[in-house]
A and B are shown apart, each in its own frame.
Chain A
Amino acid sequence: MADIAFLQEMARKIRIEIVKMLAQAGSGHTGGSLSAADIISALYFYKMRHDPKNPSWEKRDRFVLSKGHAAPVLYAALALCGYFDISLLGSLRKLNSPLQGHPCCKSLPGIEVSTGSLGQGLSVANGMALGIRLSGIPARVYCLLGDGEIQEGQVWEAAMTASHYKIDNLCAIIDHNNLQIDGHCTEVMNIEPVDEKFKAFGWNVFTIDGHNMSEIVSALDDAEKIKEKPTMIVAKTIKGKGVSIFEGKAKYHGVAPTKEELEIALKELGDGKN
């Protein structure tokens, strides 16, 4: 059974680390990192079987951050899990840091594949899931996509592949916060109806509130029971979730908090509370 309160608490801690590291870096993607914090908390502190002391454990579940610009949310989770010392988060985006602006699997343990160029992660996740299946390893692969990201054609090639090869050890999640750099997804390039599109491509689709921990946990549990089909969790989220001044603002897609904004953010997130 999932400890919902604990997962919510870890999501809060992830958000605190996100705003801290971004403010220190002076650049990076605030909105889409915060919107994914609850999903990432559920994956890393509940659902995924993984071993921070042995990142290359053959039987581990794997996570692909296809929306690689949300690297801070992943770095925060990895640090809180113990993949590396939390002090390393302060080096984000600095020269020679293993914490590259977008995740690099050759520089940081726990990163499965380098991402950042949108639209590529789902194909890689498919390949991992097929490889694991061929090897008879009962592990699962999780892949987090952005909603603006599904405007990339390769996502739909991969969507066909996952259903054609009945990749049921794959669970993808869309962080559906409705905003992309230039504005609302519906205005920039309409992606709706997202759920119907994936259903039409042969996927099992769950639509949930991506900030409701119980719903996230249930969807991840239920996805495991679906056979012969990949599962897509369309998680409705709020960009910048957790910090009122960032919430629902496209501007904070690729902008880091200023000193003043950081203070407000840490206050709202209850930094210092245990």
Chain B
Amino acid sequence: MAKTECSCQVLEISDLFGKDMATRDAYGATLVELGKQNPNIVVLDADLSCSTKTINFARNFPDRFFNMGVSEQDMMGTAAGLALAGKIPFASTFAIFATGRAWEQIRQSVCYSRANVKIVATHGGITVGEDGATHQSVEDVALMRVIPGMTVIVPADAYETAQALIASAEYNGPVYIRLGRAKVPSVMPKDYNFSIGKAYIFNIGSDVNIIANGIMVAEALKAAQILNAQGINTGVTNFSCVKPIDDEALYKIGKNSKLLITAEEHSIIGGLGSAVAEFICENCPVPIRRIGVNDTFGCSGDAKELLKYYGLTAENIVQLALEYFKK
């Protein structure tokens, strides 16, 4: 059980709206609330509870917390067993280890058995920062999206994270939620209601629509402001739910766009950009440009520096749109 002495902060869920904070911190706080409400919720971690913030749950509910040690494969299998015995397990570690190391356990023991496991992985993307490529997952969304029956969610901010976690706990079936290490700005409005399979349209532009998730939603909103000021009518939609993807919203946006830009802190292969391109090509073809990590590994550096280095900023989105309309 949790004997770890660590000094990480214990946060309250009281009001995650409007807070600029890391989505993993929102997870730590929400998990405790979920634990209070539902005695069937159990949590597993693979020796990273201080980083994933499951330590908060461990402190409050030591009997329902299982530190599995450094063994992600066993963690996913054990989570499947707990789910099949009627529990609602939340299994956490870093995104690359959750989805990479334990991919086949997730496919076979969790999804093929339709075990009600919630995989909440932190440290998604390159904003992990200084630890470098081995710890920066830019493939996790692709790896999870390809498994039949898996739900894949990449929340944009703390408020959406809390809502996605609550919705996932209520939903019966496997879910993958990708969270981040770095602090992110609040972007979702107070009246926002997360629902699995639904995108949130901030507004639809008649020229460009930016389809983003995770930390790139904030960048997309900044980019839209700049583009609108330059006379390019730009809209933004948060596709936090990559699977199932909101077909209806995509169709509506596709039909109204001259250009679609996808933006994600993930490889341009297999993630949100791919999901959008697949649907748009088949149903309402319109030019698409993808912003993401360009089929390469990450590297060490400060999170903000890395976003610039890999071209994941509002400026990159703006540039892409301007280049397109210059033609």
Contacts and interface: CB of A to CB of B under 8 A. Distances in A.
B78 A113 contact: no
Q: Which 7 A-B pairs have the closest CB atoms?
A: A127-B81, A123-B77, A131-B85, A157-B74, A157-B71, A127-B78, A124-B81
B193 interface: no
A209 B5 CA distance: 48
A165 B74 CA distance: 13
Nearest to B68: A161
A43 interface: no
9 contacts: A106-B113, A124-B78, A127-B79, A127-B81, A128-B81, A131-B84, A154-B73, A154-B74, A158-B78
A130 B113 contact: no
B4 to A, nearest CB: 15
A68 to B, nearest CB: 9
A120 B84 contact: no
B68 A127 contact: no
Interface stretch (B23-31, B102-110, B198-206, B282-290): B102-110
A130 B82 contact: yes
Given A123-B78, A127-B80, A104 B71 contact: no
B63 A134 contact: yes
A35 interface: no
A131 B108 contact: no
A154 B81 CA distance: 15
B114 A106 contact: yes
Contacts of A115: 108
A131 B87 CA distance: 6
Given A124-B84, A129-B81, A154 B105 contact: yes
A112 B112 contact: no
B78 A126 contact: yes
Interface string A151-170: 00110011011001100000
A73 B77 CA distance: 23
Contacts of B113: 105-106, 113-114
A161 B73 contact: no
* Interface residue range, chain A: 20 to 34
A125 interface: yes
Interface of A: 58, 62, 104-106, 112-117, 120-132, 134-135, 153-154, 157-158, 160-161, 164-165
Given A135-B86, A161-B68, A117 B81 contact: no
Given A115-B108, A121-B77, 19 more contacts: A104-B112, A106-B114, A114-B113, A117-B108, A122-B77, A123-B81, A124-B81, A125-B81, A127-B81, A128-B81, A130-B81, A130-B85, A131-B87, A134-B64, A135-B85, A154-B74, A157-B68, A158-B77, A164-B69
A113 B42 contact: no
A161 B74 CA distance: 8
Given A134-B63, A157-B71, A127 B108 contact: no
B176 interface: no
A134 B80 contact: no
A113 B114 contact: no
Contacts of B76: 123
Nearest to A130: B82
Contacts of A104: 112
Nearest to A111: B113
A123 B117 CA distance: 14
A123 B74 contact: yes
Given A106-B113, A106-B114, A134-B64, A126 B69 contact: no
Interface string B83-96: 11111010000000
Nearest to A165: B66
Contacts of B75: 123
Contact of A127 (B69, B85, B104, B112): B85
Contacts of B42: 131, 134
B74 A114 contact: no
A113 B81 contact: yes
B111 to A, nearest CB: 9
B32 to A, nearest CB: 18
Nearest to A104: B112
B68 to A, nearest CB: 6
Which one of A120, A126, A127, A164 has the highest number of Cβ atoms from chain B below 10 Å of its Cβ?
Answer: A127
B82 A123 contact: no
B44 to A, nearest CB: 9
Contacts of A130: 66, 78, 81-82, 85
A116 B86 contact: no
Interface in B112-150: 112-115
Contact of B85 (A128, A157, A164): A128
B66 A120 contact: no
A116 B113 CA distance: 12
A120 B104 CA distance: 9
A32 B74 CA distance: 25
A127 B82 contact: yes
Contacts of B109: 113-114, 120, 123-124
